[in-house]
Chain A
Amino acid sequence: MSETLRTPAPSTPPDRLEPPAAARRYRFLTDRRLAWLFISPALALLIFLSIWPLVRLIWLSFTDYSVTRDVPATFLGLDNYIDVITSPIVQKRALTTLIFVVGAVGLQTFLGFAIAFLISRRQRGRGALTTMFLIPMMLSPVVVGLFWKFMLDVQFGVVNSFLDSLGLGRAEWLTQQRLALFSLIVVDTWQWTPFIMLIALAGLTAVPKYLYEAAEIDRASEWFKFRRITLPLVWPLVLIAVMFRAIEAFRLFDLVYILTGGGPGGTTETLSYNVYKVAFFGFDTGRAAAYGILMVIVVIVASQLYLRYLHRLQTR
């Protein structure tokens, strides 16, 4: 007993604690300096190519600057913004964009979730199936646009060829009003359904098995299991995926550029494409800047509201 209670013999401390050799080498790098050293290069690049352009964009939006004229720009105040908001063309383009976003993201969510659900119920080959379904998403929008422009061609496109042999007649997929926007939605859905599918699948495979087993014991119907277990657990994740997709769809440009060029009669002209025309054909840089900033504001406000809604949904 006395052995264990005895305090250890006091060792004489050295006069000064010597840090080991390695620590001394980089002693000047305190945590704070290291953090600064690590972050500043990245921030510098972002300031140079994200923040500074943004500041310049905001400044431009208050002026009548144009790329082609060499005269100094005059300050206009909020004129550009008022012009953009009250312009009937912009309102039309906003409606087109809204139809596109709702149609495409809605379809993608439904199909993506359905495919993910079907895949998650397979016992074998899940990995191979997933990989196969993901191909469209990894392709460049240019490649996808060209694929479909070729397939939807009026004369020798394979879609019309199939329809023809079924006796349904041909359609002008990309040059007929109304139909062109629909084709755009279809192509976007083809490319991005895998995105929703991938995230829904991640959610579906994460649902704990024992919940289903417990429901099985209670002889719960398939529908009950889906409605009460699967959906509540996976839906929040799917909603996040929907937000990502909606933001991307809202700024759609490349597919329009390749498939329709905004035609026919401007019926497929999205907001992004309209900004491009104002900036690079109208040479009205100041106005395009205001236009773009309004778009950014819409995205920020909408996503904030959406996130708040999502948060409420999850805490409930």
Chain B
Amino acid sequence: MSTVSETTTPAARATRRASRRRSGRAPWLWVVPAVVVVLALRYVATGAGAWYAFTDWDGISTHARFVGLDNFREILRDSASRGALEHTLELAFAFVVVANVIGLALALALNRTVKTRGLLRALFFAPVVMSSLAVSYIWQFIFSYSGPLNGGLGKVGLDSLKRGWTGDPRWALWTIFVVLVWQFVGLSMVMYLAGLQGIPEELDEASAVDGASTWRRFRKITLPLLAPAITVSVTLSTIYGLGVFDQVFALTGGGPVDASETLATQIYKQTFAFGRFGYGTAVSLILTVLITVLALAQLAILRVRESRL
């Protein structure tokens, strides 16, 4: 009884409140150093670097001249930069759709029924852990004029289709798309598999007993419960697709004549190949804003849909 009375006295309540305030404050104090380091190294440094977007710095001069918005105006005027923006969006959109559809299909196929699913999952996931550059160079050989793709076409009598795929302006961007999808579907598959593993089997079985078709069960049960996995996979693939560099660099170098140029390769070329650090920073600012806006918008839309499902 005495304990109860002690805890209910005003003094005890005040002590508890003070203690709660202290314990509520303590975690923030612990977090402050980490937050400062992250802010300083990531955001302040990046923000300071962004200043170069408004200069004509060439990378070696000791002085960078302020040019205002000139770099941004040039980006809008330059057909190569505009083309790079278009290619980036085109590639990212196609990649997000196809990689997620194939990833989901693979996850559904390898979720339960197939006996060798463990081996198949490993095989489909293997490209994810390979170096993007190494994979791209192998694909470059496959797409070359004397490579196995043209060899196969020749063997089935389709000689007229033979070409240097990475050097063909109509196909160059799509060779990159193929490699991107080939390398990413494994990761997408794993994310969907994780989601599928969380769906209770009983729900599917009960609806099957009630006579729901496979397609209806997929639409009404699996897909809604898979919504969080879709959000993660689509958001990650959007970020990956918008920032693609390695595959473009190794397969086509952005060519032929800018036909497969993306914003990331433009940044590299302008900054490091032509020594136009100011201009390159301006392009990278645009890419950063683009990725942030698209990823956040997509995330918001998917979250809303998640809650509705």
Q: Is this pair of chains taken from one and the same complex?
A: no
- Residues of A whose CB lies within 8 Å of any CB of B are none
- Residues of B whose CB lies within 8 Å of any CB of A are none
